Amino acid sequence: MPSTTANRAPRLRTRAAMLAAGVGFSAVLASGGGVAAAADPTGGDLFAAGTPDTLARYTLGLAEVHQKAAEAEVKAAAEANRAAEAKKAAEAKKAAEAAEAKKVAEAEAKAAEAQRAASWVAPISGGYTISAVYGNSGDRWAAGHSGQDFAVPTGTPVRSVHSGTVVKAGGNGAGDGPAYGNAIVIKHDDGSYAQYAHLSQVQVSPGQRVETGAQIALSGNTGNSTGPHLHFEIRTTPNYGSSVDPASYLRGKGVDL
């Protein structure tokens, strides 16, 4: 009858090898990996009772557990990386949108400023000479000069300095007296008034709507005038006696006379 010690030797060597192979699996169990320990269905010791084939399958099971754990780590790292990239992309998009919004706002503000400047113009578009300014005094005026004079040849186009409605137009200074000759008074959209006098020809009528820069008359030498020119006033009412410095007023609108 073979020795008991001799019969147990191969089994002990097999068990030692499987213990070495199962270290990683034990570590998974110890770290709470959630992997159930393989056991002999009869409740016995797997290493003692298992056949070589059973033990081989057990070893492959351990390898599969480790492989799945490694794959889970790689997947988690990839998802974290995608989340970080998505956050970075979202922040970059938000910054780009903010920069674009700022750029658009600045462009709109610039365009609005340009529009405000363009909504007021000088009454003469071509070359001219300023022959008298607001407040001048002397033999040519019974009182201080009420406007600004643009020395230009008779027939030079005169244009509205701003959009508005014609309130007076015609001879006798359009009601302000013969000294002004043919004249026009326009009420602007901002509530101010402009007067154009000594005209050779009036080309608008009371009640007519005019836009900024529209031609309204031709310059002349009518009324109390010492030479062809346009007399231009800015007023607070449509009538004589309410004028303000036109050069200063238009300068505030972005127009230098």
Given a contact cutoff of 8 angstroms between Cβ atoms, the answer to whether 160 and 211 are in contact is yes
All domains in the chain, ordered by first residue:
1-118 (no CATH), 129-251 (2.70.70.10)
Tokens representing 10 are 């191969």
Mean pLDDT of 54-60: 78
Comparing 67-71, 111-115, 118-122, 180-184, the range with the smallest average pLDDT is 111-115
> Residue 178's pLDDT is what?
95
Residue 41 has pLDDT above 60, yes or no: no
Convert the pLDDT of each residue in 218-256 to its tens digit.
999 999 998 999 999 999 999 998 999 999 999 999 998
> Residue 49's pLDDT is what?
58
> Residue 47's pLDDT is what?
57
Collapsing DSSP states into helix, strand and coil, what is residue 149?
strand
Convert the pLDDT of each residue in 161-200 to its tens digit.
999 999 999 999 999 999 999 999 999 999 999 999 999 9
Mean pLDDT of 156-163: 97
Residue that the structure tokens 């410095």 belong to = 245
> Residue 144's pLDDT is what?
63
Going by C-alpha positions, the residue among 94, 93, 116, 97 that lies closest to residue 105 is 97
Annotate 198-240 with DSSP letters as a single string. EEEEE---TT-EE-TT-EEEEEB--SS-SSSEEEEEEESSSST
> Residue 137's pLDDT is what?
58
Integer Cα distance of 222 and 229 in angstroms: 9
> Residue 40's pLDDT is what?
43
Given a contact cutoff of 8 angstroms between Cβ atoms, the answer to whether 168 and 175 are in contact is yes
Mean pLDDT of 1-5: 47
> What is the share, in percent, of the chain residues with pLDDT greater than 90?
54
> Residue 50's pLDDT is what?
62
